[in-house]
Amino acid sequence: MTSALLPAAANHPPHEPALLGQYRHVRAATEAMVADISDADATVQSMDDASPAKWHLAHTTWFFEEFVLAARIPDYEPVDPQYRYLFNSYYEAVGARHPRPRRGLLTRPSLDEILAYREAVDESMLSLLTDAQTDAEAALVTLGLNHEQQHQELLLTDILHLFAQNPLRPAYAPELTAPVIADPRPAPEWLKFSGGVVAIGHAGDDFAFDCETPRHNVLLQPYALSSHPVSNHQWFEFIEDGGYQTAGLWLSDGWRWVCDNAIQAPLYWEERDGTWWQMTLRGMQPVDADSPVTHVSFFEADAFARWAERRLPTEAEWEHAARNLPATGNFVEGRTLRPLPDRQNTSGALRQMFGDVWEWTASAFLPYPGFRPSAGAVGEYNGKFMSSQMVLRGGSCVTPESHIRASYRNFFYPHQRWQFTGVRLADDV
C-alpha cells in the first residue's frame, strides 16, 4: 500500500482560478487514498455505520453531478441515470435511494467503472469551473469540496474498520519511521479560563457549514481544561481500576451498552500476554502509552471523566479556549495515520487541540439560536441530524488540515467509536 495519501503539489497552469485548483486538489486527494486497494477492498461494507470505499468515491461524485452540473447545464445528461438511486445518501428531496445497510451488496458497478464515472464528471466540472461562477454557484462547489473532505476521513476510518474484521489484520499503509517526540514527555497541566460572555460560532467570509452559525453570545462560568488529551497510559489506569466494571461511573444508557456489548477496552484493542495491542491503518501495533487514547465512545469518555473526578468540556468552552490557536497539528497530510504523543515539551499552553483525535464534548448537537437550514435539498445536510447526537471538536489524524477550524462541529451518536475519537478533560474553577 502506498504512503502517498495525498498528491504532490500539482503544476497547475498560471493564473488558474482558485476554485478550479481546489477542485483538482481535493478530487486527486480522494483517488490517491484508494490507489492501491483492490475492488474487493472497495466493495465490502463492514457494518451499517460504515460505507464501502467505492460508495464514497461515487457518492462524492454524484453530489457534484446532482447539485452542480444538473442545475447549471441545460439538458444535462447524467453519466448513468441509475447512479441517482445508487449513490444518493439521505436527500429525501432528491428521491429514493439504495438502503444504507446494503451498500456492500453493490458488486456492480466495479471500482474501475466508478473511477471512470469520476473522470467523466470531473471533465464536465473542470470545463464549468474555467468560466465565471455566480456567488451561489461558487458556494455550492465549495460545499461539495468540503463534503468530499468529510468523506475522505470517513473512507479511511471505514477501511480501518473493515480491515480490523479480517483475521489477517492487513495494513492499509506501511509502517513509517517513528517521528521525533518530546523527551521527557510533557506532563498534563490545568489551564484556567475566566469565562464571561463570549462569542461562539463562525465569523468571517471563509467557508463554514451552516451548523456553525449564527455567531452568538454564550455565558461561561470560569473553567479549566487539561493541557493534553487523555493518554493511553491514563486509560490503562482506568481499565486496571475496574472502570468498565463499575456501574456507578456510567450513564444508564452507557452501562446498558457496556453490558450488552461486553465492552472492556477501546475499539480495536486486544490484550496479548499482558500487553495491549491496537489495530491501526498500519496494521497491528502495540498501544503507545504516551499517545492520545482513541476509538472511545461518548459513553466511555463520560465515564472516564467521572472516574477522574472531572468532566467533559462543553463545546462553547472548547471553542472559546481554541479560538486564538493555530489550527495546526497531526492531520492526514502528515501521513502518520494514528494519534501521536506531544512533539514538544511545552508548558503553560494547550497542546494537540487540533488533529490527533476528535474530542468529545458534553454538548448535544443542537441548532444555534437563530439557525435556519438552507432552502432545497442541501438544507438537509446538517439540520435534520440535530437530534440524539453529541458534538466533537478539533479534527483527527485522518482529517484534512484545510478542513478544520475552531468553530467546526462534528457529531456522532454516543455509542459510536469507529472514528478517531478521544477525550480532553475539563473542570470547574
> Rounded to whole angstroms, how far apart are CA atoms 216 and 183?
42
Q: Which of 73-77, 158-162, 197-201, 380-384 has the lowest mean pLDDT?
A: 380-384
List the beta bridge partners of residue 412: 390
Confidence of residue 177 (pLDDT cuts 50, 70, 90): confident
Taking residues 352-379, what's their average pLDDT? Answer: 90
pLDDT of res. 17? 84
Q: Residue 14 pLDDT more than 90?
A: no
pLDDT of res. 125? 96
Confidence of residue 184 (pLDDT cuts 50, 70, 90): confident
pLDDT of res. 2? 41
Q: Which of 11-20, 304-313, 415-424 has the lowest mean pLDDT?
A: 11-20
Confidence of residue 9 (pLDDT cuts 50, 70, 90): very low
pLDDT of res. 92? 82
Residues 6+ apart with CB under 8 A from 228: 186, 188, 292, 342, 351, 352, 424
What confidence tens digit (pLDDT) does each residue in 207-248 have? 999 999 999 999 999 999 999 999 999 999 999 999 999 999
> Rounded to whole angstroms, how far apart are CA atoms 140 and 199?
27
Percent of the chain with pLDDT over 70: 95
109 vs 18 pLDDT, higher one: 109
- Domain 190-428, what architecture? Alpha-Beta Complex (3.90)
The overall longest dimension of the chain from CA atoms, in Å, is 66
Share the mean pLDDT of the chain. Answer: 93
Cell numbers found for residue 94:
432528491
Confidence of residue 15 (pLDDT cuts 50, 70, 90): low
Residues 6+ apart with CB under 8 A from 318: 225, 359, 361, 393, 394, 424
Q: Residue 8 pLDDT more than 60?
A: no
> Rounded to whole angstroms, how far apart are CA atoms 226 and 426?
6
Taking residues 31-49, what's their average pLDDT? Answer: 97
Q: Which residue has cell 487541540?
A: 353
What confidence tens digit (pLDDT) does each residue in 250-282 have? 999 999 999 999 999 999 999 999 999 999 999
Q: Which of 120-134, 246-260, 281-295, 395-409 has the lowest mean pLDDT?
A: 120-134
Confidence of residue 380 (pLDDT cuts 50, 70, 90): low
Q: Residue 13 pLDDT more than 70?
A: no
- Name which of 297, 301, 153, 323 is nearest 238 in CA terms: 301
pLDDT of res. 381? 67
Q: Residue 1 pLDDT more than 50?
A: no
pLDDT of res. 394? 98
Q: Residue 359 pLDDT more than 90?
A: yes
Cell numbers found for residue 264:
472492556
Cell numbers found for residue 104:
456492500
Long-range contact set of residues 10-17: C-beta below 8 Å, sequence gap at least 24: 17/129, 17/130
pLDDT of res. 126? 95
Going across the sheet that includes 426-428, the strands are: 190-193, 223-226, 426-428
pLDDT of res. 133? 84
Domain ranges of the chain: 18-164, 190-428
pLDDT of res. 129? 94
pLDDT of res. 93? 80
What confidence tens digit (pLDDT) does each residue in 70-127 have? 998 999 999 999 999 999 998 888 899 999 999 999 999 999 999 999 999 999 999 9
Q: Residue 10 pLDDT more than 70?
A: no
